[in-house]
Structure 1
């Protein structure tokens, strides 16, 4: 499968205009004893918030004019190599696009000189609940963070069939938690990305026959792309739907949708391996098990 990802062209760590040091926490680990995908989303979010508080503090939460703000529209994560807890990391961040009302950041995660993960996020400036032109001071500050070689990923539009709940064969219900609410009193972006990862883990557990301890380590997605379409509220119960988009001898591409009733409030794509090694060292091939979960419509 040929996929355009945020991993394709990335500068060295010292080329990024903003670099944050990160020491992994035990809570960042997934069952494979590596830093998990949800933790990487959190690292990118921490880098973004820290950078914006330094670059344009008057437009960040707690300081910006009433009725204005930023909404995160999307985030991508691509894992290139396992991230170990014993290593220290640097998260490089740069602006790779500034539009009329939106802008994008590119991220690179390094241990030493090795690039182990990349990402990208897009934010939209809103006034009165609608996209609005970027304030001039924000535009000026963002221009100072641009790194020309950090080009944005080509945007892929989701097909209209992805907005139909019944087109996804696998269902996983999620109840919002109070601890997931952000400063805007909505479920936060990191938690929502984690929901998609939970949904994929639930699918893997299902096709493996619900083994104790969850799915095999090698099935975690190597890439995740999330599009936030609307706010997710507390309290509430949402349906997370999963289907298989493409399947070959090496990789499976997943489609995910988050629904409030029949209304789609979020979409995600992910990709991962179709084979993994079990606790006894045996190769487990899940191609046939994934076939019944192909997308409909």
Structure 2
């Protein structure tokens, strides 16, 4: 259980925003993709900041996302459904957002996604106020505005990592990624949502390799239920980067992955994900996926 799981009621959040689910939010399992939920959090974050900071201050500030986490608690579909399976009348989800921590140059949000009264996903993110010279103190006007959004939630968790997580050769699986112009945001670097999609692509490619490249992609249900991304440096266009994936832990039902994004030997991004490995295809059992994932454990380097 993460700190975000503690806020499972919509009344815990100072702001609730209705958000429609779109067809292109769906992944191959016909459920809302994890990268789509990262985008929903971004939409909520920007809407709140424009409202509480004001357009003028928002335009002058440079806020960079340092990390984001998504935890999916129940299936999300285009037409929201309650815990009993009944359709939600509005046809929209609600995103709760509040501020859980205010530091010198950074602050953190906590999120909840609701279908009716049921919390179906939670999350957290950290934003950093930056100038050309690096992190800068938050303006007093911003600090005061953030205080109005305070909610009773723990500060975001830190991604635990040893020195090997920053070493490219510690990750057994490799995927090369070329940046696209359409991935850029107004800061002229690859957007955080696009980068979250890169890590999900890396996991999907690993699953394809493990399953023998089935037509139509990996089996439904292999998408992670939890995804955490740490943005260590900007990813630029044009460029070709190495995305690496390894297995951290395996138990009877779940697998925990580690991901690293590298510019040459330099690590510029990290991620962790947790997902299932016990699945059945239409014909029955696809085999022991845990045993197939064993060769991809992180290396000691």
Sort the TM-score into its range (normalised by shorter chain).
Answer: over 0.9
Shift of residue 154, structure 1, vs aligned partner: 3.0
Cα distance in 2 for partners of 1:125, 1:153 equals 17
User: TM-score under structure 1 normalisation?
Assistant: 0.94
Deviations 1:28-66 (A, max 9, x none): 000000011010000000000110011112332xx20xx
- Aligned counterpart for 2:219 among listed residues 207, 210, 216: 216
From 228, 250, 261, the counterpart of 2:264: 261
**1:279 is aligned to 2:282:** yes
Aligned length: 288
Q: Which residue pairs with 2:83 in the alignment?
A: none
Which residue in 2 is equivalent to 1:200?
203
Give the C-alpha shift of residue 20 in structure 1.
Answer: 1.0
Matched, 1:36 2:33: yes
Aligned partner of residue 190 in structure 2, secondary structure: coil
Residue 15 (structure 1) aligned with residue 33 (structure 2): no
Task: Please report how far the alpha carbon of residue 221 of structure 1 lies from its aligned counterpart in structure 2 after TM superposition.
Answer: 0.4
| Runs of 4+ off more than 4 Å | none
Structure 2 residue matching 1:158: 3-state secondary structure: coil
Q: 1:234 corresponds to which residue?
A: 237
* 1:251 match: 254
Q: Deviations over 1:157-205 (max 9, x none)?
A: 3211111000000001111111100001100000000000000000001
Matching residue of 2:84: none
Q: Structure 1 CA distance, aligned partners of 2:159 and 2:241? A: 25
Unaligned runs of 5+ in 1: none
| Aligned mates of 1:75, 1:250 — CA distance in 2 | 25
Q: Tell me, what secondary structure is at the counterpart of 1:32?
A: coil
**Is the contact made by 2:108 and 2:156 (CA closer than 8 Å) also made in structure 1?**
no
Q: Specify every segment of 5 or more residues in structure 2 that has no aligned partner in the other structure, as ranges.
A: 81-91
Deviation at residue 8 of structure 1 after TM alignment? 2.6
Equivalence for 1:151: 154
Is structure 2 residue 62 aligned with structure 1 residue 69?
A: yes
Partner of 2:193: 190
Aligned 8 A contact 1:78 1:118 in 2: yes
* Structure 2 equivalent of residue 171 of structure 1: 174
TM-score with structure 2 setting the length:
0.93
Secondary structure of 1:232's counterpart equals: coil
Inter-partner Cα distance in structure 2 for 1:15 and 1:259: 38
d(CA) in 1 for partners of 2:289, 2:19:
35
